[in-house]
Amino acid sequence: MNKMSIALTVFLSFQLLYACSPNNEVNKVSDPIANDNTARIEYEELGLQKYDPPIQVSFVREMSAQLDDLIKSLPGQTLNDNTWSRLYEEVLGIQITYDWTARGDLYAQKFSVDLSSGNIPDVVRVDAEQLRLLSNAGYIQDLTNVFDTYATPLTKEILSQEGSGPFEAATIDRKLMGIPETNSSIETAQVLWIRIDWLERLNLKPPQTMDELIAIAKAFTEQDPDQNGQNDTFGLAATQYLWDPVMGLTSFMAGYDAFPMMWIHDDSGKLTYGGIQPEVKSALLSLQNMYRNGYLDSEFAMKNGIKAKEQVAKGKIGMLYGEQWGSFLAQVSRESDSNADWRAFPIVSVSGKAPKVPLKFNTTHFIAVKRGVQHPEAIIKMFNLHLEKNWGETAEYEKYYSSPYPVWQLSPITPYPARKNMEAFQQLKEARITGDQSKLNEEAKAIQKNITTYLSGSGNIEIGWGWERTYGEQGAMAIIDQYEKNNQLLYESFVGTPTETMIEKQSILNEIQLQVYMDIILGRPIEEFDRFVKQWKKLGGDQITEEVNQWFLAQKP
C-alpha cells in the first residue's frame, strides 16, 4: 500500500468517529473509566490472570491528527493514561509505556533505523517483510508455545476466522514469530455506490452490465443531474491510487474479469499474477474511453483520496466503488444537499453474469516480541482482554469500543473478529424478520440504535444515515452477504510471508504497474501494457512467480 492509500484509509476511517458524533462534531463526553466505581472482574483463565507485582511492557506508537482529536474529545485521558491503559493495569497488572512516538514519515524513518539495529521495544507492530527481517536477524522470539498456552478459547476462535492464512504468514521456519492482526477479507468486498436521486431524476435504472454502468456515467456527466445548468459533474469517482478501498477502480476492473493486484489460479492450477493477464487490457481501454469522454474527473490522477472526497462533498460525483463503509464517505454530500441519496448496488460484469468479487489477503501486520523479554505471554494476555471486553461474555462494547467515540484506538493492540460486521448484520437481519432484538450482541445493539434514530425521521437523523445504508435491509452488508451465498468471492491465493525476491523487487514492480496503468488510462497506447508485462517478468516477476508456486506446492498435503 503506498502513501496515498494509507492517507485515504486513515482519513476515512476517522470519519466513523464523526458519523457517530452528534452534528458530526467531536464533542466532549464523560470518561467512562474515571466515572466507573464498580468492582473489577477477576478472571480464572490463565491468559487473563493478573501480574503481581505489575510489569511494564514497552511499545512505540505512530501518532496522527485523528488520534490527537480523539484524545482531546475524551476529558481526563492521554496517550499514556486512558481507558485501555487503565484497564490493562487494573485487570492484568500490565503497565503500558511508549519508548517514543512520532508522526508519518518521521515515524517510518525512525522505526526503520531501530529495526535495522535491533533497538526495538518489548512489543513491536510490523508488516510481513519486517517480520521476516527481524526473525532472520534473531531480534524477536518464537511465540508458538506462548500462544498455545496463554491464548483463550475466544482469542483462538477469533484469530482463526480468516482461516490458516494469517498464521501461515506469521510462521517462519515452522516457528510462529508474530501474532497476526487478522483483518477481515470479506468486509473488503466492494459494492457500487450510486446517487439514486440522480438515477430517479434522469429516469435511469441501476446497471446490470458494464455497458449500462458506462451509460449511467455518461448521463451523470452530460445531463446535468444536479440541475445547476453547468457542465460540472462526473459519472465515476477515481483517485491517483487506483486501488484505494473507496473511490478506487479495483472492482471496475473485476467487471472485466481482471484482478490486477492479486495472485490467482491459471488454467493449469498454478498461481499467476493477475496484474499481467490480458483481461486487464479490456478494463484499461474502457477506463481510457471514459476518461477521454469526461466521465472521470480530468484531474483525478493528481488527486489523493482526500481531494477526491471534496468532489463528493460538493455533489459532483454520481457513482463510486467502495467497501461497506463507503456510506460514511458518500454522506459528506448531504452536508451541502440534504436530498443527496446514495445506495449500494452489486458490482456488475461485461456479460451481465454475477462477477467474481476480489478479496485481497488482508492480514498485513503482526505483533512480535523482542528476544529476551521476560514475559512474552503479556501480549497474548492483552489480546485476550481486548477481545473479551469487546466481544466476550463480559463485553462492555459501548465503554471499550465505541462510546460512541472509537475508544478502541487508544489501545496499542486492536484485534477484532474478522467477521464481526457480517455477524452484526446477520443479527440485525434476523431481528428485522422476527421483531425480537433481545439476541443482538453489544455491537449490533449500538448499530441498531443509530439506525433507529435515522428511521424515526426526528432529531439528528444524520447520525444513523450511514449506518442504515451499510447495515439496513438494502445496505452494503446485505449485498456482501449475497456475494458469499452466490460463491462470488475470489480470495487471494498467495497468503505466505513475502518471498526473498518480493522483499527485494515488489515495491518497484508495484510502482511500475501503477504508473503504466495510469498512463494508459490517460491516453497512452494500449501496447504499453504488453511492454509492461515483459518488463515485469524481466525485473523479477518471473522469479517471484516461481517462488510463489514453490510455496503453493509446499501447502499441499
**DSSP 3-state of 194:** strand
Residue 27 pLDDT: 31
**pLDDT(34) > 60:** no
Mean pLDDT of 38-62: 90
Residue 227, number of CB atoms within 10 A of its CB: 9
Residue 187 pLDDT: 86
| Tens digit of each residue's pLDDT (9 = 90 or more) over 143-170 | 999 999 999 999 999 999 998 899 999 9
Comparing CA positions, the residue from 285, 183, 307 lying closest to residue 238 is 307
Are the C-beta atoms of 425 and 419 separated by less than 8 Å?
no
Q: Find the DSSP H helices in 118-175.
A: 128-137, 144-150, 153-159, 165-170
Mean pLDDT of 383-390: 97
193 — pLDDT class (breaks 50, 70, 90): very high
H or E element, residue 226: none
Question: Which of 32-41, 104-113, 155-164 shows the lowest mean pLDDT across its residues?
Answer: 32-41
Mean pLDDT of 360-364: 89
Residue 332 pLDDT: 95
Residue appearing with cell numbers 440541475: 227
Q: Find the DSSP H helices in 88-209.
A: 104-117, 128-137, 144-150, 153-159, 165-170, 196-201
| Tens digit of each residue's pLDDT (9 = 90 or more) over 395-426 | 998 899 988 789 999 999 999 999 999 999 99
**pLDDT(443) > 90:** no
**pLDDT(48) > 90:** yes
Q: Which three cell numbers stand for residue 442?
A: 453489544
Residue 10 pLDDT: 37
**pLDDT(25) > 90:** no
**pLDDT(1) > 60:** no
Q: What percent of the chain has pLDDT over 70?
A: 93
Mean pLDDT of 264-293: 97
69 — pLDDT class (breaks 50, 70, 90): very high
The mean pLDDT value of the chain amounts to 91
**pLDDT(440) > 60:** yes
Length of the chain: 557
Residues 6+ apart with CB under 8 A from 408: 84, 386, 390, 400, 401, 402, 414, 416
Cross-strand partners of 55: 94
d(CA 528, CA 312): 32
CA–CA distances in Å: residue 86 to residues 29, 39, 60, 403, 522: 18, 14, 18, 16, 53
d(CA 14, CA 11): 6
pTM of structure: 0.83
Q: What percent of the chain has pLDDT over 90?
A: 84
| Tens digit of each residue's pLDDT (9 = 90 or more) over 220-263 | 999 999 999 999 999 999 999 999 999 999 999 999 999 999 99
DSSP strand E in 252-348: where? 263-265, 271-273, 317-322, 342-345
What 8-state DSSP symbol labels residue 417?
-
Mean pLDDT of 326-337: 95
31 — pLDDT class (breaks 50, 70, 90): very low
Residue 40 pLDDT: 63
